[in-house]
């Protein structure tokens, strides 16, 4: 009986692998040592060191036929409590189907990537070491920013509908989705506004030169508006990979809060097994809602990745990041991080 069960499972697995598409494990495990320093005790934060999963998710993609495809990605490192608005937790990052109606047009329904945040937002979280204040909406001491703006971590995965128009290496996305959180009255859903977005992606010179521009809007009401702008350019031709993003988040009521980030990244891929990277980020938070103040940030990062075999998505990495914040009220705040870890992306069905 035991042999029969094992044989049945083996045949089932082989049959599934032949028709089911791909099932990937994406795991990045890091050791992180972080220290903080601040002019005032209220702005300081305790130093720490830890081992943790920077990324941990299962990613399944397949096709019903040549026109209909689907994808589900579950992050076991995130909150698993379902929301009221779309019945999914943050742990379900992607859950959508796509109908390719022609070579020029396709439409997706479900929880999808909003193409938010320029090339920084388009980078897999498993490949991020230093992130902008636009991305995290956090200060140098890991506190939430003083203002009321939103960022990439709030809006990268949303539930709704997304249309894609593709022509000659260019793609235009038009999308509508829920708000970023449950809007309730007396415990009942009261959402009447949501996210809308328009995104352009272009590739030229055999995809070596890439451009991205996006505008997203998220309103809580007619008098409470969020606007998000991103413009980016990327050069990706061996041995140089470089990108530059300009990112802006605005929240406007009777006044306006703004966070602006400029993100520059440079990598050299000419070595056999080593990839060095440099990253520079400059940000500014300007507050008008509540207390009026302007806070500035400057971050630098250096990364070295070691890839034993270029054909495999498996690596080791070590990174050093430093961030300084010139806070108008709290004074100078700084953070230093040392990150050592490994990342694996592997298909179960191969």
Where do runs of H (alpha helix) occur along the chain? 2-19, 118-122, 133-136, 152-155
If DSSP codes are grouped into helix, strand and coil, which group holds residue 149? coil
**Hey, what domains does the chain have and what are their CATH numbers?**
31-347 (2.40.160.10)
**Residue 137: per-residue pLDDT:** 98
CA-to-CA separations, 153 to 71, 100, 116, 285, in angstroms, rounded = 20, 28, 10, 17
DSSP class per residue in 174-223: EEEE--SS--EETTEE-----EEEEEEEEEETTTTEEEEEEEEEEEEETT
Q: Indicate if the pLDDT at residue 15 is higher than 60.
A: no
Q: Which of 120, 59, 78 is nearest to 345 (CA)?
A: 59
Bigger pLDDT: 17 vs 266: 266
What is the Cα–Cα distance from 33 to 349, expressed in whole angstroms?
36
Q: Write the pLDDT tens digit of every residue in 278-312.
A: 999 999 999 999 889 999 999 999 999 999 998 88
* pLDDT score recorded for residue 348: 84
Answer yes or no: is pLDDT of 10 > 50. no
How many C-alpha atoms does 170 have within 13 Å on its Cβ side?
7
What's the chain's length in residues? 350
Bridge pairing between strands 274-287 and 293-306: antiparallel
CA 342, CA 319: separation in Å to the nearest integer? Answer: 11
pLDDT tens, residue by residue, 181-231: 999 999 999 999 999 999 999 999 999 999 999 999 999 888 899 999 999
pLDDT digits (tens, 9 = 90+) for 227-274: 999 999 999 999 999 999 999 999 999 999 999 999 999 999 999 999
The confidence score (pLDDT) of residue 9 equals: 37
Query: pLDDT tens, 308-328?
Result: 998 889 999 999 999 999 999
Residue 264: closest CA among 280, 287, 253: 280
- Looking at residue 334, what is its pLDDT? 98
* Mean residue pLDDT across the chain: 93
pLDDT at 38 over 50: yes
pLDDT band with cut points at 50, 70 and 90 for residue 20: low
* Tokens coding 68: 């209909």
> The whole model's pTM is what?
0.92
pLDDT at 17 over 70: no
Nearest to 313 by CA among 36, 46, 24: 24
Residue 4 has pLDDT above 50, yes or no: no
What's the pLDDT at 5?
39
């Amino acid at each position: 009986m035991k042999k029969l069960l094992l044989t049945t499972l083996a045949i089932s697995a082989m049959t599934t692998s032949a028709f089911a598409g791909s099932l990937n494990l994406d795991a990045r495990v890091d050791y992180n040592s972080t220290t903080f320093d601040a002019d005032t005790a209220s702005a300081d934060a305790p130093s720490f060191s830890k081992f943790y999963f920077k990324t941990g998710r299962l990613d399944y993609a397949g096709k019903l036929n040549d026109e209909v495809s689907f994808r589900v990605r579950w992050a076991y490192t995130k909150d698993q409590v379902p929301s009221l608005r779309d019945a999914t937790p943050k742990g379900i990052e992607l859950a959508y189907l796509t109908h390719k109606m022609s070579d020029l047009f396709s439409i997706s329904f479900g929880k999808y990537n909003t193409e938010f945040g320029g090339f920084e937002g388009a980078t897999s979280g498993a490949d991020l070491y230093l992130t902008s204040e636009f991305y995290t909406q956090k200060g140098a001491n890991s506190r939430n920013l003083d203002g009321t703006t939103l960022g990439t971590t709030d809006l990268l995965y949303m539930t709704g509908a997304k249309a894609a128009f593709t022509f000659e290496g260019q793609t235009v996305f038009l999308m509508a989705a829920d708000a970023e959180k449950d809007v309730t009255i007396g415990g009942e859903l009261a959402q009447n506004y949501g996210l809308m977005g328009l995104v352009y992606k272009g590739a030229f010179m055999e995809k070596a030169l890439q451009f991205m521009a996006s505008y997203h809007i998220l309103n809580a009401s007619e008098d409470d508006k969020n606007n998000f702008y991103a413009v980016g350019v990327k050069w990706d031709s061996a041995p140089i990979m470089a990108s530059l993003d300009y990112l802006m988040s605005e929240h406007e009521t009777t006044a306006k809060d703004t966070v602006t980030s400029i993100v520059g990244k440079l990598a050299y891929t000419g070595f056999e097994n080593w990839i060095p990277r440099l990253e520079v980020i400059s940000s500014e938070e300007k507050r008008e809602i509540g207390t009026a103040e302007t806070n500035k940030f400057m971050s630098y990062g250096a990364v070295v990745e070691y890839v034993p075999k270029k054909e495999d998505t498996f690596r080791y990495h070590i990174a050093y990041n430093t961030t300084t914040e010139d806070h108008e009220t709290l004074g100078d705040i700084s953070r230093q991080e040392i990150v050592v870890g490994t990342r694996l992306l592997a298909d179960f069905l191969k």
